[in-house]
Amino acid sequence: MNFSLSPAALRGRIHVVLLFRILWIMILFMVCRILFYSFNAVFFPEISFAHALRLMGGGIKFDIVAVFYTNILFIFLMCVPFTFKYRKGYQKFLDYLFIITNSIALSANCMDFIYYRFTIKRTTWSILKEFSNQDNMGTLFGGFIVRYWYVAVIWILLVVSLVKITKIIRVGNRPELPWWGFFLVHAAWMGAIVYLFIGGVRGGFAHSIRPITLSNAGEYVQKPKEMFLVLNTPFCIYKTIRRSDYERAKYFAGYADADKIFNPVHTPEAGQPPFKPMNVVILIWESFGKEMVGGYNRHLENGTYKGYTPFIDSLMQHSKVNWYSFANGAKSIEAIPSVLTSIPGIKEPFVTMRYTDNKLPSFPEILKTKGYSTSFFHGAPNGSMGFQAFVNLIGVEKYYGKTEYNNDADYDGIWGIWDEEFLQFWANKMGTFKEPFMSTLFTVSSHDPYKVPQRYEGKFPKGPLPVYQTMGYSDFALKKFFAKAKTMPWYKNTLFIITADHAATFAHYPEYQTSAGNFSIPILFYAPGDSTLAGRDTSTLVQQIDIMPSVLSYLNYDKPYFAFGKNIFKKPPINFAVNYDGVYQWFNGPYILQFDGQKTVGLYNYQEDKLLKNNLKDKLPAIQGPMELQVKAFAQQYINRMLDDKLTVTP
């Protein structure tokens, strides 16, 4: 069959034209990536050819998203199942639409050939917003064109190629079909293209995949800055258009004044004992709200409540348990930074924001300086939730997912490997690690649609909500994990931390339906070789971001480090917890203060007023005043350090 790209050969093949034009834009995006590297190679030293290929290959996924978003209107208008789309005037309009929209996208890529040198970041929507306030944009832009005329020439050549490809690959005459046949055929084509479009802009078709974002580029890199070789500028702009970027906080004159109230730099005490090289094992349990645990809730149902996690109840008797414990976010993707970097999710999940390329505090990296090996386990398909990318960014050495498990017989068909089997896999793998090691696992089974393996149907109480049955199953899986771990030589030299990513997205009992209850999760510290690490603490609050500094204190870590959390094993300067629920929620002792960024909107004694019915705002100035100062200091430290890339301790 003789095939060419002439208009005659493409007569009636409108979907072939669409495919070829989209592929051409993909090629131009890759050309831009190569040119971006060429202009900025000094910022990316020691990249081997093999690694460069990995970076470029990873970039294709981000290019697909950007190209699809750029051409969303063009694709739709090419696919409508009506005959008028073959009219010459209509096609002429589409030609101009295709050239103009893609020329703008290519100009954004070209701009960062040079502008990257000044920001060391790809341009985002927030940067464009900053420029929108400039009165001399014409002068600035004109000067840019003059100084970097060769970039303008490159852009013109790219646009010329767009014009050429538009003239070569054109739509021919309408196919000879009755109107109803035409409609059915093209409606089917449109449905298929919509399906492919959705998969493309999400970054995949798997049920467990969350929409791709900037931090997903970390999956392909060895150093955080290499993310910008994987990303493209239009993608960064699109993904930050509706993100609420931070405006510099000015509650205090500067860092020194804010430090007097809240200081995120932790300094070891003089004369502390030598470092203890204990293994650190962290389990993050999907949707593990405090409501499910009988040990926390003996008062419910007139004292008859047993909960759904009998093993956790038994483990609490031998663990350090802080009675008031909180998540720092409401999403799974907020838990990993909270636990492993002591960075909470404030306003937006940290991993979806542009600050993931900052120098980050890292629990795994700190322990690596003490000779630890580090690993992360998640039984979902590799890449799900962006976990693999993020833990790679913070220096975790080995990632174990569904691919590494390599047995689909234990796949639940939606989220990942069943918890029972994957926790056994985890225990066995840790048996092969050289001590000391740090290992973290994120469970998957207690997730909608809340199913358990068929062999366990009817074994676990279902309760009033479907999530309870899966909590019983995951608790059973954890019991079997500890039974296996006890037989391992590393067990006695290990500190276990068990917590949740967030509370369940819904609750049954009213006290867990409040702004405080929605963030209430278990956090247990258990060391089988240390009987002194036990007991119930009803005064000191604990939160996910406290895990890193508390464990480092327990191990007698001897260098300064950065963490937004506090050390719960010493009396903290501020007995606080924080999360964001449309407003800042600042917990201090028995009180929760709700602050909208300008003023206090609520103050409650959440420990006595469990349903938060009695607003004490402006009634307790001796309580409210200091708490307002504290949340302002925290907010300023958080926001300004994000903006200034000051999230680590400077030597």
Domain positions in the chain:
14-240, 258-644
Calpha distance 412→417 (Å, rounded): 6
Element (H, E) at 603: strand 600-605
Does the pLDDT value for residue 6 go beyond 60? no
Q: Is the dihedral of CA 306, 307, 311, 317 positive or negative?
A: negative
Looking at residue 620, its amino acid is L
pLDDT reported for residue 11? 44
pLDDT band at 206 (very low <50, low <70, confident <90, very high): confident
pLDDT tens across 214-225, in order? 888 888 988 777
Looking at residue 220, its amino acid is Y
pLDDT tens across 48-72, in order? 999 999 999 999 999 999 999 999 9
pLDDT band at 131 (very low <50, low <70, confident <90, very high): low
pLDDT reported for residue 208? 67
Please say whether the beta carbons of 422 and 416 come within 8 A.
Answer: yes
pLDDT reported for residue 470? 96
Does the pLDDT value for residue 281 go beyond 60? yes
Does the pLDDT value for residue 455 go beyond 90? yes
pLDDT tens across 83-93, in order? 898 899 999 99
Of the two residues 307 and 240, the one the predictor is more confident about is 307
Calpha distance 521→42 (Å, rounded): 46
pLDDT reported for residue 2? 41
pLDDT reported for residue 74? 96
Structural tokens at position 385: 């939730």
Whole-angstrom distance between the N-terminal and C-terminal Cα of the chain?
Answer: 69
Bridge partner list, 499: 284
pLDDT reported for residue 210? 72
User: Which phi and psi angles does 126 have, rounded to 5°?
Assistant: -65, -35
Calpha distance 308→349 (Å, rounded): 30
258-644: CATH superfamily: Alkaline Phosphatase, subunit A (3.40.720.10)
How many H helices and E strands in the chain?
A: 20, 16
pLDDT reported for residue 547? 98
pLDDT tens across 584-628, in order? 999 999 999 999 999 999 999 999 999 999 999 999 999 999 999
Structural tokens at position 420: 């029972």
Element (H, E) at 64: helix 49-70
Does the pLDDT value for residue 140 go beyond 80? no
| Mean pLDDT value of segment 284-309 | 94
Does the pLDDT value for residue 496 go beyond 50? yes
Calpha distance 121→578 (Å, rounded): 29
Distance of CA 32 to the CA centre of its chain: 27
pLDDT band at 7 (very low <50, low <70, confident <90, very high): very low
Q: What is the DSSP string of 26-62?
A: HHHHHHHHHHHHHHTGGGS-S--HHHHHHHHHHHHHH
Write down the H helix ranges in 203-349.
Answer: 227-230, 233-240, 255-259, 310-316, 332-341
Does the pLDDT value for residue 8 go beyond 50? no
pLDDT band at 42 (very low <50, low <70, confident <90, very high): confident
Q: Which of 10-19, 161-170, 320-329, 478-487 has the lowest mean pLDDT?
A: 10-19
pLDDT band at 5 (very low <50, low <70, confident <90, very high): very low
Q: Is the dihedral of CA 122, 357, 442, 574 positive or negative?
A: negative
Q: Which of 168-182, 336-350, 510-524, 542-556 has the lowest mean pLDDT?
A: 168-182
pLDDT band at 651 (very low <50, low <70, confident <90, very high): low
pLDDT reported for residue 355? 82
* 647: helix, strand or coil: coil
* 252: helix, strand or coil: coil
Strand pairing class (600-605; 591-595): antiparallel
pLDDT tens across 532-583, in order? 999 999 999 999 999 999 999 999 999 999 999 999 999 999 999 999 987 8
